[in-house]
């Protein structure tokens, strides 16, 4: 009896440790989502104030790659890089409609998706496709020139590359964007054509940390845009 009791206690303790670790992981993921969501909210407020003062002809919505770009003109007209660090599609969908309504631009570019392929909290491709359609169809119906961008690849073998982002999930999201563009006849921005290495990932020279561009990476990214 004593041995059985000890085994039961050991099993219970092991289960408790596993449950606690899982809870900490869930809490960590939730904390990341809250932090990035809060940043997107603050960025949205700042961008809204900005477009009310100087409405751009083109709005480019996206994540840290967009927030970090210095681009301010497209098609020979003023443009605004409306990015938010860590943003997922849901974060952009929460802030973009008000910004578009205030700016009344000629064209909108949506360059979002790689953060929806984060291994720790991936977005379901079907839900992603439905939310993406719900975001862009009102703009298209209003007569705006809408372009959607395919996510840029990440570097293989880097913690912030495929260590953090799931290339297989990113490819499924890419195909969802490609299908949506074909269905709605939207312009497609092929950031997936950026130079790759022998492993199929982004050329490490373009993004030393695995995902965020160095100056040469941005030069090529902006040329595609």
Q: For residues 55-76, b (16+ Cβ closer than 10 Å) or e, as one string?
A: ebbbbbbbbbbbbebeeeebee
- pLDDT (0 to 100) of residue 26: 43
- pLDDT (0 to 100) of residue 223: 96
Tokens 């860590």 appear where?
A: 86
* Each residue's pLDDT tens digit, 84-137: 999 999 999 999 999 999 999 999 999 999 999 999 999 999 999 999 999 999
Reply yes or no on whether the pLDDT at 29 is more than 80.
Answer: no
What is the mean pLDDT of the segment spanning 204-221?
Answer: 97
Percent of the chain residues past pLDDT 90, beyond the cut: 83
* Each residue's pLDDT tens digit, 125-179: 999 999 999 999 999 999 999 999 999 999 999 999 999 999 999 999 999 999 9
Q: Model's pTM, two decimal places?
A: 0.86
Reply yes or no on whether the pLDDT at 15 is more than 50.
Answer: no
More confident of the two residues 129 and 11: 129
- pLDDT (0 to 100) of residue 36: 83
d(CA 16, CA 141): 54
């Amino acid at each position: 009896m004593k041995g059985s009791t000890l085994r039961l206690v050991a099993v219970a303790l092991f289960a408790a440790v596993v449950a606690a670790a899982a809870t900490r992981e869930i809490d960590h993921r939730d904390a990341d989502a809250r932090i990035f969501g809060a940043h997107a909210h603050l960025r949205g407020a700042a961008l809204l104030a900005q477009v009310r003062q100087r409405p751009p002809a083109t709005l480019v919505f996206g994540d840290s790659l967009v927030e970090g770009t210095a681009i301010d003109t497209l098609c020979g007209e003023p443009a605004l890089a409306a990015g938010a660090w860590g943003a997922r599609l849901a974060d952009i969908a929460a802030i973009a409609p008000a910004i578009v309504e205030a700016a009344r631009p000629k064209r909108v570019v949506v360059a979002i998706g790689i953060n929806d392929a984060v291994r720790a909290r991936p977005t379901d491709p079907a839900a992603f496709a439905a939310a993406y359609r719900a975001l862009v169809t009102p703009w298209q119906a209003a007569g705006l020139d809408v372009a959607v961008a395919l996510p840029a690849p990440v570097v293989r073998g880097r913690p912030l590359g495929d260590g953090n982002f799931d290339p297989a999930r990113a490819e499924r999201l890419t195909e969802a964007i490609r299908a949506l563009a074909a269905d709605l006849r939207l312009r497609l921005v092929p950031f997936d054509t950026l130079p790759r290495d022998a492993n199929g990932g982004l050329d490490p020279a373009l993004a030393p940390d695995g995902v965020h561009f160095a100056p040469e990476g941005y030069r090529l990214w902006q040329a595609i845009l």
